[in-house]
Amino acid sequence: MVDPLAYVIIAASLGYAGWGLVAVVRNQNPREWFVIGAAVIELLLLVQGVVAVVMMAVGDGPGETALFVSYLIFALLLLPMTLFWALAEKSRWGTSVLVFGTLVLAALVVRLQEIWEGVPGV
């Protein structure tokens, strides 16, 4: 894990969730800009994922590799599935799915950092 990048992803996810919440309050559908925004976050996450996998390959990974990898896969699949589910609903409720999805993503990245650093839990 690269901490600065993880913080950028967390901040971007929370920012996206806030942006989406404004759209929900203003009764807006999930629009094209939300897809682009989600793609940017996904790209950052993908970079983080590749870096983490490389670090694990050279033996600098977390103690619980299987746990970390399963969280990473969940995190990487989350936004594509969220978009798929959100875009079919042309109402504010579609947008609200995006808000929820990015809040979950932020929590997942925090959890990924904890697992990487060996904080006990689960």
Q: How far is the CB of 96 from another protein (least distance, A)?
A: 5
Structure tokens at 49: 């994922």
Strand, helix or coil for residue 38: helix
Question: Tokens in use for 84?
Answer: 């798929």
User: Smallest gap, in angstroms, from Cβ of residue 36 to another protein?
Assistant: 21
Shortest spacing between CB 81 and another protein, in angstroms = 8
What's the rounded Cα separation, in Å, for the pair 90 and 88? 6
Question: Given the structure tokens 């997942």, which residue do they identify?
Answer: 108
Residue 52 or 97: the one with the smaller Cβ distance to another protein is: 97
| Cβ neighbours, 10 Å, residue 53 | 13
| Residue ranges in contact with another protein by CB under 8 A | 27, 66-67, 70, 74, 78, 81-82, 85-86, 89-94, 96-97, 100-101, 104, 122
Count the Cβ atoms, other than its own, within 10 Å of residue 55.
15
Q: How far is the CB of 102 from another protein (least distance, A)?
A: 12
Let me know how long the chain is: 122
Question: Tokens 């999805």 map to which residue?
Answer: 101
Task: Give 19 or 74: the residue with its C-beta nearer to another protein.
Answer: 74
Nearer CB in complex with another protein: 96/113: 96
Instruction: Kindly tell me which of 47 and 113 has the beta carbon lying closer to another protein.
Output: 113
